[in-house]
């Protein structure tokens, strides 16, 4: 079954003022759709066309070499954005609680130190990419990836990720990526992040 862009789980203007409505339309309807179209085009007729996107990204080395980079970029783009929409929400923000909050304190010292390290990973990602909170098999860690790479391809479980491609923030924040990263905490859907953590933590 070919990939499809999942419907946005809230209104396009629901993340304002942190993320403006026009950015959400372009990002979800145009950018995400383009990744889906290109991934479907590359996978069509291969044994991978019917596989879940996670399985494809965990086995990129087995994807036919002439399609591998296109699949890496675009199946990655599809997976990353499908997660990203769910990790945000209206009336969100605040701090994580429960086992996830404990794990963050244990790994990074405090919630504030976690936020600082995550922001730093987003700022230092040169060009386009993502910053991530992952579970690497032994505990929580912060990593960043270029382009549309996902930590799942390195055997790490993505628990939270922020898109630092310019298309994610430029209309509101222009060149001020650090301001976008500061504001982004206001829309993080911590219950969703905790749900992912409960499966790996």
Phi-psi region of 60 (alpha: psi -120 to 50; beta: other; left: phi over 0): alpha
d(CA 185, CA 181): 7
- Report the nearest approach of Mn ion to the CB of residue 78 (Å): 11
C-alpha distances in Å from residue 142, one per residue of 3, 33, 71, 74, 79: 28, 28, 25, 23, 19
Three-state secondary structure call for residue 201: coil
- Residue closest to Mn ion (Cβ): 163
Total residues contacting Mn ion (rule CB under 5 A)? Answer: 3
Regarding 149 and contact with Mn ion (CB under 5 A), the answer is no
Q: Which is nearer to Mn ion, 148 or 153 (CB)?
A: 148
Regarding 165 and contact with Mn ion (CB under 5 A), the answer is yes
Q: Which is nearer to Mn ion, 149 or 163 (CB)?
A: 163
Of the candidates 18, 26, 162, 29, which has an alpha carbon nearest to the alpha carbon of residue 83? 162
Q: Which is nearer to Mn ion, 157 or 168 (CB)?
A: 168
Q: Which is nearer to Mn ion, 24 or 159 (CB)?
A: 24
Regarding 163 and contact with Mn ion (CB under 5 A), the answer is yes
Q: Which residues bind Mn ion (CB under 5 A)?
A: 163, 165, 168
């Amino acid at each position: 079954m070919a990939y499809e862009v999942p419907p946005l789980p809230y209104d396009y203007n629901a993340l304002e003022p942190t993320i403006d409505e026009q950015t959400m339309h372009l990002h979800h309807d145009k950018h995400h759709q383009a990744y889906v179209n290109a991934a479907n085009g590359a996978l069509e007729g291969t044994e991978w066309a019917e596989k879940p996107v996670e399985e494809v990204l965990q086995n990129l080395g087995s994807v036919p070499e002439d399609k591998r980079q296109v699949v890496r970029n675009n199946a990655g783009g599809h997976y990353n954005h499908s997660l990203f929409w769910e990790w945000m929400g209206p009336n969100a923000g605040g701090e994580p609680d429960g086992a996830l909050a404990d794990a963050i304190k244990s790994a990074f010292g405090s919630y504030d130190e976690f936020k600082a390290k995550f922001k730093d990973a987003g700022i230092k990602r040169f060009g386009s990419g993502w910053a991530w909170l992952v579970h690497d098999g032994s505990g929580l860690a912060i990593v960043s990836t270029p382009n549309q790479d996902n930590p799942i391809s390195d055997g790490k479980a993505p628990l939270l990720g922020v898109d630092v491609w310019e298309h994610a923030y430029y209309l509101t924040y222009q060149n001020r990526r650090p301001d976008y990263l500061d504001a982004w905490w206001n829309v993080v859907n911590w219950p969703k992040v905790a749900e992912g953590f409960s499966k790996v933590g």
